[in-house]
């Protein structure tokens, strides 16, 4: 049997469990909530740019994983890995010598900033992934493997939907 806490002790009230109040949308009408005309509001968030391609691909990956869409998960992971690889710094960009005795010593001295890719660079990588898959699909068609060619075309459709 559940008993009430003794008088004088602290207990949570129902208002402590309620979610925080959200701001009301601006639709016009009066303060009492009477319906009225929809008013146009200049809002920076409404005029904001669409999210960058990389963010859209990562968000699409999460959605594909939740839907258990193997084709989409595979192609999105592969494309995001290609983008990450393009950001990596070449080994030749270092001091040119890989000898241990000439390497720097200390915490953080070997860390190098990754390349910053623009949204256009990322779009170019995605386009090259699409072209690569289309060429491979043609090769599979010529080799008599239409099922594999169709799988690659499904991957092309997934990537093309994000461009």
Walk along the chain (163 residues) and give the pLDDT tens digit of each residue: 566 666 655 555 555 555 555 555 554 445 554 554 544 445 555 556 778 999 999 999 999 999 999 999 999 999 999 999 998 877 655 555 566 666 666 666 667 778 889 999 999 999 999 999 999 999 999 999 999 999 999 999 999 999 8
Q: Which domain holds residue 150?
A: 51-87+117-163
Number of domains in the chain: 1
| Domain contains 112 | no
| Percentages (nearest 5) of helix, strand, coil residues in the chain | 50, 0, 50
Here the CATH number for the domain that contains residue 77 is: 1.10.1510.10
| Domain contains 12 | no
Do residues 54 and 39 touch, judged by C-beta distance below 8 A? no
| Domain contains 125 | yes
| Domain contains 13 | no
pTM of the entire predicted model: 0.61
| Domain contains 111 | no
């Amino acid at each position: 049997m559940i008993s009430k806490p003794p008088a004088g002790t602290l207990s949570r009230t129902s208002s402590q469990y309620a979610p925080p109040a959200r701001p009301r949308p601006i639709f016009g009408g009066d303060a009492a909530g009477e319906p009225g005309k929809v008013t146009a509001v200049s809002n920076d968030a409404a005029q904001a740019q669409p999210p960058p391609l990389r963010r859209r691909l990562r968000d699409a990956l999460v959605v594909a994983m939740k839907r258990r869409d193997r084709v989409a998960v595979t192609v999105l992971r592969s494309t995001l890995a290609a983008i990450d690889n393009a950001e990596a710094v070449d080994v030749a960009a270092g001091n040119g010598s890989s000898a241990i005795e000439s390497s720097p010593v200390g915490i953080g001295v070997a860390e190098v900033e990754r390349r910053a890719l623009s949204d256009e660079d990322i779009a170019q990588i995605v386009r090259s992934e699409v072209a690569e898959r289309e060429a491979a699909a043609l090769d599979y068609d010529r080799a008599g493997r239409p099922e594999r060619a169709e799988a690659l075309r499904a991957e092309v459709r997934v990537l093309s939907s994000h461009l």
